[in-house]
Chain A
């Protein structure tokens, strides 16, 4: 009986111990990791502080070179004169709204012109073109054989696509090409990816048979077979707020964006109204 009572008390104590010892954390609040900040030298305002008016905000379509662009701009005198810091963001472009454009939430925006004018027809009342690019070529790529533009070729093949419907190179153009050769849904095996890096990685690992890409895409280890899909794809354009009219600031921004040049290898860029640079 003594043992039974003690066992009962032990079980109750264990239960109580279990209940009172359980710990939980206060609600975790993770920030958005699609932006990079830096403070301009001499600024005593933390860059991460949400003070949009005093920060130079760039909206790009890739995190490539983001920290280098921010650092370079933070060091420029023209930026220091007007801004306490620089924010380079690669927020998903489908999240960009007409409100963002009307309110001029971003100082520099990298996107296709037709997408932005779709959101805000009088875009040019708010933004100037900073850098314009020539059309570029998009190819079907394979590590196995040269792609053939027939429905028969695509039948049963695993085709890597970005799930982002605004992506020309990795979503719209390949689907348009497949439709053009009468390869319908079900004939091929589409594999959707959330990000370009995962798409490329899967391609290299042989998890997909085909994907699309520009001329700059290459593999160090093995040959990449190409077939032209579109020779005149519309490249994205850099826009800048009209209010940021100081030539030196525009020149410095163009200079910083040159860090992205390897991405548009072979595509000619045309600065607008910045001949002084």
Chain B
């Protein structure tokens, strides 16, 4: 996490703690005040009424009541689920005759006012509520709340900007699911993504990531890979633009055989298809050597030895190679690593070679 983000987090925690603490104290004080006000309103009028019933002058009773109420309310036990307030004291400030009506809670002073009817007027007792704040409980609990909120903030994906939204839509249009899109957006800047999104290899890699075939880092490696095709004979696999494709043994060796021809640039990589009725035993030799050396199917080797390289078998294997590459890369991307063809002017038969330039073909064993 960057120091700027850390500072931002700390400021957020501090701000939330402060605001929540102030709110908490306000709620605690107000609720306590309202509760005490309700209790006093319930009891005090009757108590005062019976105390003043035979009084000829309010002043002498008020003085006496003042002292008694102060003793009764000197210590009030305050309770709450979160003990924000430690203890409270209620002080009787004054008893007033003919108080203004509807003045239950003195908004200006925050004092508690209890009104009661006397004859044709309203009398009022005004109390002050003094509470001590339980700072350890207050700060501790609110720091925890602030950390939790900031944690949620960090865990949630950041809102998308206009560019990111547009790029996200493009990825979604390519069939990449939303959760994968979110991860891609977190890993790239809009500028990077703008560039990448035009690369079909990137789209392909992201689809494979979305299908859980590879992880996101591997997907970026594929995107950044060179447009080469690498052959690994022992494993019968090719790696095209960083994407590993395991082919069936026999088509693999046919593919590798074409690649070897193209890499060595013999006849510019072209291999003429044998005539339908005349298998080519000379061409079959290199293919047999390749298969025998790297564990090709004995049946295919025997077939080549017995019948030579036949046009039909060659066509079948090219088709199988095409099928496998298209399945792995799609038509468009596979095309660059498949075969190109032209008619041989002398024999009028077709000849085939790999499309990609020789420099893009990497062989773990360049010669047989």
* Interface residues in chain A, defined as those with a beta carbon under 8 Å from any beta carbon in chain B: 1-3, 5-6, 9-10, 13-14, 17-34, 36, 60-64, 66-67, 90-92, 160, 164, 191-202, 207-208, 263
- A-B pairs with the 8 shortest C-beta distances? A33-B51, A23-B80, A26-B77, A20-B82, A21-B27, A23-B32, A20-B81, A62-B54
A31 contacts B53, C-beta separation under 8 Å: no
Q: Say whether, besides A22-B81, A28-B76, A33-B48, A197 and B56 are in contact (CB < 8 Å).
A: yes
Q: For residue B157, which residue of chain A has the nearest CB?
A: A2
A-B contact pairs, 17 of them (CB 8 A): A2-B153, A2-B159, A3-B159, A23-B84, A26-B76, A26-B77, A30-B43, A31-B47, A32-B51, A164-B53, A195-B53, A196-B54, A196-B55, A198-B52, A198-B119, A201-B97, A208-B120
Distance in angstroms between the alpha carbons of A90 and B68 in the assembled complex: 15
The reply to whether A66 and B27 form a contact with Cβ atoms under 8 Å apart is no
**A25 and B39 contact, Cβ closer than 8 Å, known pairs A30-B72, A195-B55:** yes
Query: A30-B43, A31-B72 are contacts. A23–B65 as well, Cβ < 8 Å?
Result: no
A-B pairs under 8 A by CB, number = 183
Are B145 and A17 touching (Cβ within 8 A)?
Answer: yes
Extra A-B contacts (11), CB below 8 Å, given A23-B85, A24-B35, A197-B58: A1-B156, A6-B152, A17-B24, A21-B27, A22-B80, A23-B31, A25-B32, A28-B72, A29-B72, A33-B50, A63-B61
Instruction: Say yes or no for B288: interface residue by CB 8 A criterion.
Output: no
**Contact residues of B with A, CB < 8 Å?**
20, 23-25, 27-29, 31-32, 35-36, 39-40, 43-44, 47-58, 60-61, 64-65, 68-69, 72-73, 76-82, 84-85, 88, 97, 118-121, 145, 148-149, 152-153, 156-159
CB-nearest residue of chain A relative to B46?
Answer: A30
Q: Shortest beta-carbon distance, A191 to chain B, in Å?
A: 7
Q: How far is the CA of A54 from the CA of B317 in the complex (A)?
A: 121
CB distance from B45 to the nearest CB of A (A): 9
Query: Which A residues are in CB contact (< 8 Å) with B24?
Result: 17, 21
A146 to chain B, nearest CB (A): 24
Contacts of A191 in B (CB 8 A): 119-120
Which label, helix, strand, loop or mixed, suits the secondary structure of the B interface?
helix
> In the assembly, what is the distance between CA of A158 and CA of B229, in Å?
113
Q: Closest Cβ of chain A: how far from B294's Cβ, in Å?
A: 53
Q: Is there contact, CB below 8 Å, between A23 and B48?
A: no
Contact, CB under 8 Å: A200 / B78: no
Q: How far is the CA of A60 from the CA of B53 in the complex (A)?
A: 12
- Whether B119 pairs with A201 at a CB distance below 8 angstroms is yes
Give the most central of A25, A26, A92: most B CB within 10 Å.
Answer: A25
Distance, CA A64 to CA B61, complexed state (A):
8
| A182 → B minimal CB distance (Å) | 27
